[in-house]
């Protein structure tokens, strides 16, 4: 009888966390691309500061970092999901061939699901002065895409 109880406790300890999802952190990914338009030319902006915030936890950012030398940032994070996230993009220093700073732009908030992908595109238009960043949950579009079997 005692052996059966131990076996049951071991099975519950091993498999119960796999079956029951708690409120723990879930993985998701973030992709950010930052570009400037000058006349007819588009330039990827390196070393731009990117900060990911949560609407539900406004105390501090989930992530603070920079785009690489090609103007891209790819990362994976863990957070309590689903939740509404938004990003801020800016560059206070002159760190590019175009020798200019980039003002702060803030995206609209986007709901991100577990194992989702937050994809953001920041565009600085030097001709018109319109600077914006758009984000969306890429996993929503990936689920809608037809598979090879369809």
CATH of the domain at 119: 2.60.40.10
Split into its structural domains, the chain has a count of 1
Flag whether 1 is in a domain. Answer: no
CA nearest to 67, candidates 101, 90, 100, 97: 90
Digit-coded pLDDT (tens) for 24-81: 899 999 999 999 998 889 999 999 999 999 998 878 999 999 999 999 999 999 999 8
Structure tokens of 38?
Answer: 């000058």
**Any residues with CB less than 8 A from the CB of 96 and at least 6 apart, and which?**
43, 45, 46, 47
| Percent of the chain topping pLDDT 70 | 75
Provide the pLDDT for residue 58. 77
**Any residues with CB less than 8 A from the CB of 64 and at least 6 apart, and which?**
49, 50, 51, 52
Flag whether 130 is in a domain. Answer: yes
Flag whether 15 is in a domain. Answer: no
Flag whether 150 is in a domain. Answer: no
Digit-coded pLDDT (tens) for 81-136: 899 999 999 999 887 666 789 999 999 999 999 999 999 999 999 889 999 999 99
Flag whether 12 is in a domain. Answer: no
Q: Based on C-alpha coordinates, what's the Rg of the chain?
A: 21
Structure tokens of 102?
Answer: 């980039």
């Amino acid at each position: 009888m005692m052996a059966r109880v131990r076996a049951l406790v071991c099975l519950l300890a091993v498999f119960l966390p796999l079956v029951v999802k708690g409120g723990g952190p879930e993985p998701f990914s973030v992709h950010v691309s930052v570009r400037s338009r000058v006349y007819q030319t588009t330039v990827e902006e390196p070393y731009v500061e990117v900060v990911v915030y949560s609407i539900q936890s406004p105390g501090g950012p989930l992530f603070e970092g920079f785009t690489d030398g090609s103007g891209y940032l790819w990362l994976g994070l863990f957070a309590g999901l689903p939740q509404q996230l938004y990003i801020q993009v800016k560059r206070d220093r002159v760190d590019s061939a175009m020798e200019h700073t980039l003002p702060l732009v803030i995206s609209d908030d986007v709901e991100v699901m577990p194992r989702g992908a937050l994809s953001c595109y920041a565009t600085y238009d030097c001709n018109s002065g319109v600077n914006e960043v758009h984000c969306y949950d890429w996993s929503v579009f990936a689920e809608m895409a037809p598979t090879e079997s369809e």
